[in-house]
Structure 1
Amino acid sequence: MKRFGAALKRAAPWAAQNADGAIALGLAVIVGVLGILPDELFGGAEVQSQLVSAATLLILALVSTALLRDRMRQAPVEKTITSGALAELPVRLERLEQIETLVTGTRRALDELQLVRVLASPLEIAQAHADARALTSRWSFKGGTGTYLRAVTLPHCVAAARRDKRHLTLRIEIIDPSDAEVCEAYAHYRRSLADTDGTGERWTTERARKESYATVLAAFWHRQRYGLLDIVLGLSATMTTFRWDLSASRVIMTIEDPNRALTALAGTFYYESCDTELRLSLEQARRVPLESYKRVPLSDEPTVEEVQELFQQIGLALPRAYNDHDVVDITRKALRAEDPYEIPRHP
């Protein structure tokens, strides 16, 4: 009895909240009991049948009442959902599309950043340049005076193109040797980093000027000797602390620290941005008329007179203070430049 009483106490709150359902359930139990009792208890089968029918109608009425009540309870909820959440659904879907677009763009940017690598040693930088030169059909350079370009990049790229009998395009931008201010600014910058570079020479205004003259001379000398070589050379009135070397496969950005550089493969955002920057910068530079390379033929070992005549013809005359020794120095730098970043070989 105690358990039955406890069960009734637990069921009482539910029965109070769902009175119609509880009554219907109770009547259904009673109808079931009436249906299985003997007819004699009700004074005949007809009386029993009437009781069952009446109870059944009452149960149906209670069930209908419960359904109507539930409908009334659900109506405000459906109205709230329809007027609230569903009304905001297009806005929320639009926000989801924006978030998805942002996530996709971020993932793409991260993927491209992963392809921008930091080179942290002279060996890595040298290998990156070697990989960039391999089978390339074009090369763009922007930097100071182009010392490494003359010593390594230009002769190696021309030799590879000549061996494969293919076309090669070079786009070069260096400081203007006739502009004393930019030569002094570049020399001062290099001296502030180190007294000498890998060649053992000290950077002065005259050295910066001669190095640039040497790059111009080297461009003409190689152009005269390989018919499938196209060179565009520009002289800038401003200096940059960066050097860009861009081939068909990758771009390498170096600074005066031989242990630090950045590289990115072709097709990445960084590569395409550098390519655009180099093109636009070269368009603003003073153009050297390399198309006139046939006017003054240069010997395998150009003479002082040939070099002087060349610079005179292209409107870039050497300073009057230069003597034969200065011209020979420029020629040596043009054709036998020392690699300032060469890695020492141990015996």
Structure 2
Amino acid sequence: MARFMATVRGVAPWAAQNADGAIALGLAIVVGVLGVMPEDIFGADGVDVQRQLVSAATLVILALVATALLRDRARQAPVEATITSGALADLPQRLRRLDEIDTLVAGTRKALDSLQLVRVLGSRQEIAQAHAEARKDTTRWSFKGGTGTYLRAVTLPECAAAARRVKRHLTVRIEVIDPSNAEVCETYAHYRRSLSDVPDGTGETWTTDRVRKESFATILAAFWHRQRYGLLDIGVGLSATMTTFRWDLSASRLIMTVEDPNRAMTALAGTFFYENCDTELRLSFEQARQVPLEMYKRVPLSDEPTVEEVQELFERIGVPLPRAYNEHDVVAIARKALRAVNPYKS
């Protein structure tokens, strides 16, 4: 009995809050009981009485259910009105704000990507890999630096060979120190010696004479490659000033190296830094003294250029070799042009 009373007390609050539902449930139970009771319990007219009771109880149940539905609808009406007039009414504006936020986020992401100007390379291997990726499938190359030793040893021959294999057009722009300008050659040699007075990766030390020969060799290499590949558009500019950086810019990336063979910077195409360096290299090249590469047909060069061919070439293009140069010096220039030693090879 005590357990029954406890159950009743537990159910009572729910029944009070849901009186119509509780009554409907109770009547449904009564109707069910009446439907299964024997007909003779209600007397002679037991069948009619039973049916009337069931019908009446059923109508009451339906009325209570209808009442419960109307009550719930009345309770929900203010909530629906609040939602409709509040959050749903503001939904179009909120969606527009979300679109604006998405646009802002996309613009911010693009700006952040552009702000990632450069990535520092910290080893010879990383620098070599960056150069290899820059050369891959490129259709253009711009160089500005000292004398272009690495350009002659690796970049120019490999880019030209790759373009020739697939018959692809290749545009190359090279800016190096003017070998006829003794002052800038001496300045560059002094700068390189001040950093290290021991031989570099080529096995040579830096002197004014070496600077001049390296620049002459770059000019000779440009003519030699131009004569051997018709789709090579190459230009050489001679600068009256030196730079402590070396720029190598391809269609996919920029690489800036310094005298430390284990340190460099790189930036991908499309970034703010790449685009501005591209503009800088273009303007700098235009201001440099131009070598008349269009004369490449007038002075043919052999696969192994002779001393006479080299001397005539430099005379015809207006960049004559020093009179003090003998046959040994001319041969050294030809060797540097076509068989340059990679100064960064470990």
Please confirm whether the aligned pair reaches a TM-score higher than 0.5, indicating the same fold: yes
How far apart in 2 are the matches of 1:61 and 1:118? Answer: 83
8 Å CA contact retained: 2:28, 2:58: yes
1:309 partnered with 2:315: yes
1:241 partnered with 2:227: no
Q: Across the two proteins, how many residue pairs are aligned to each other?
A: 322
Residues 245-324 of structure 1 mapped to structure 2, 5 A cutoff = 246=250, 253=255, 255=257, 256-260=259-263, 270-271=268-269, 280-284=279-283, 285-286=285-286, 287-295=290-298, 300-303=305-308, 306=312, 309-312=315-318, 322-324=322-324
Q: Pick one of 213, 216, 231 that aligns with 2:234.
A: 231
1:16 partnered with 2:19: no
How far apart in 2 are the matches of 1:167 and 1:34? Answer: 97
Q: Which residue does 2:141 correspond to in 1?
A: 140
Q: Pick one of 77, 80, 85 that aligns with 2:79.
A: 77
Q: Which residue does 2:152 correspond to in 1?
A: 150
- Opposite residue 23 of structure 1, the aligned amino acid is I
8 Å CA contact retained: 2:216, 2:333: no
SS at match of 2:174: strand
Q: CA deviation at 1:64?
A: 1.4
Q: CA deviation at 1:15?
A: 0.4
Q: CA deviation at 1:81?
A: 3.1
How many percent identity over aligned positions?
A: 52
8 Å CA contact retained: 2:42, 2:49: no
CA 65–153 in structure 1, closer or farther in 2 if over 3 Å, else same: closer
- Opposite residue 195 of structure 1, the aligned amino acid is D
Q: Which residue does 2:26 correspond to in 1?
A: 26
- Opposite residue 244 of structure 1, the aligned amino acid is D
1:4-63 superposed Cα distances (whole Å, 9 cap, x missing partner): 111101101110110111122222323334443646647844555544444333322222
How far apart in 1 are the matches of 2:27 and 2:161? Answer: 105
Q: CA deviation at 1:119?
A: 7.8
Q: Pick one of 61, 64, 67 that aligns with 2:63.
A: 61
SS at match of 1:336: helix
Q: Which residue does 1:169 correspond to in 2?
A: 170
Q: CA deviation at 1:65?
A: 1.2
Mark the runs of 5 or more structure 2 residues left unpaired by the alignment.
Answer: none
8 Å CA contact retained: 1:252, 1:261: no
**Which stretch of structure 1 is more off in the superposition, 138-147 or 28-37?**
28-37
CA 200–186 in structure 1, closer or farther in 2 if over 3 Å, else same: same
Q: Which residue does 1:266 correspond to in 2?
A: none
Mark the runs of 5 or more structure 1 residues left unpaired by the alignment.
Answer: 264-268
Q: CA deviation at 1:244?
A: 1.5
RMSD: 4.8
8 Å CA contact retained: 1:214, 1:330: no
- Opposite residue 31 of structure 1, the aligned amino acid is V
- Opposite residue 146 of structure 1, the aligned amino acid is G
Q: CA deviation at 1:290?
A: 1.0
8 Å CA contact retained: 2:142, 2:281: no
8 Å CA contact retained: 1:234, 1:282: no
Q: TM-score, normalised by structure 1?
A: 0.68
SS at match of 1:218: helix
How far apart in 2 are the matches of 1:283 and 1:167? Answer: 22
CA 217–10 in structure 1, closer or farther in 2 if over 3 Å, else same: same
CA 184–324 in structure 1, closer or farther in 2 if over 3 Å, else same: closer
8 Å CA contact retained: 1:235, 1:288: yes
